[in-house]
């Protein structure tokens, strides 16, 4: 009984010391051109994570306030609930089988220009793979880069869905 409890404790500790990698849940579409949204100023850069995702996406060229009349207001990302059941497999296999859980979120920002406010809402479909053993091969991660690629893809898809057919 003691050894079973010890094994469970070691597995939990190993899971807590693991790494998580974020992957797009679908294929991505590249931007058709650099900065398709034009030049813009971000009014609330204190939302650092959202600002990094937007900056890395390449949708807008972020400039100072006196260089443009287009103002972006970022909103905190909305995360979906994640069930913890997939972690059981990782615990019982001592990290040999990674847990794959959805890491979906909604990225929201508004763009104001000449008194007109447009709301942009994008669903960022991603999967999080969590494995203590994977940490040995990839100890660092960059979720902002992955999320920015997904955001750019969703922006490009939305632009093409709004274009009239030829």
On whether the CB atoms of residues 43 and 73 are closer than 8 A, the answer is: yes
On whether the CB atoms of residues 144 and 20 are closer than 8 A, the answer is: no
The CATH number of residue 131's host domain is 3.30.160
pLDDT at position 20 is 53
Chunked into runs of 10 residues, the chain (166 residues) has average pLDDT values of 57 47 83 88 94 94 93 94 81 81 93 94 90 67 86 88 54
Name every residue whose Cβ is closer than 8 Å to that of residue 42 and which is 6 or more positions away in sequence: 51, 54, 62, 71, 72, 73, 74
pTM of the model: 0.78
Short-list 159, 145, 163, 160, CA closest to 57: 145
On whether the CB atoms of residues 59 and 155 are closer than 8 A, the answer is: yes
pLDDT at position 5 is 56
pLDDT at position 94 is 77
pLDDT at position 19 is 46
Q: Which range of residues forms the domain containing residue 84?
A: 2-162
Domain count, the chain: 1
pLDDT at position 50 is 95
pLDDT at position 47 is 94
């Amino acid at each position: 009984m003691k050894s079973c409890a010890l094994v469970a404790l070691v597995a939990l500790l190993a899971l807590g010391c693991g790494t998580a990698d974020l992957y797009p849940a679908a294929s991505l579409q590249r931007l058709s051109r650099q900065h398709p949204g034009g030049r813009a100023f971000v009014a609330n850069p204190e939302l650092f994570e959202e600002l990094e995702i937007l900056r890395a996406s390449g949708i807008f060229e972020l400039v100072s306030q006196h260089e443009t009349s287009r103002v972006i207001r970022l909103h905190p990302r909305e995360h979906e609930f994640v069930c913890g059941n997939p972690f059981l497999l990782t615990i019982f296999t001592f990290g040999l089988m990674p847990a794959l859980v959805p890491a979906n979120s909604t990225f929201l920002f508004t763009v104001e220009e000449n008194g007109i406010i447009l709301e942009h809402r994008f669903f960022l479909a991603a999967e999080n793979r969590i494995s203590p053993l994977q940490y040995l091969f990839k100890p660092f991660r960059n979720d902002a880069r992955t999320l920015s690629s997904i955001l750019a893809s969703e922006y490009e898809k939305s632009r093409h869905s709004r274009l009239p057919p030829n």
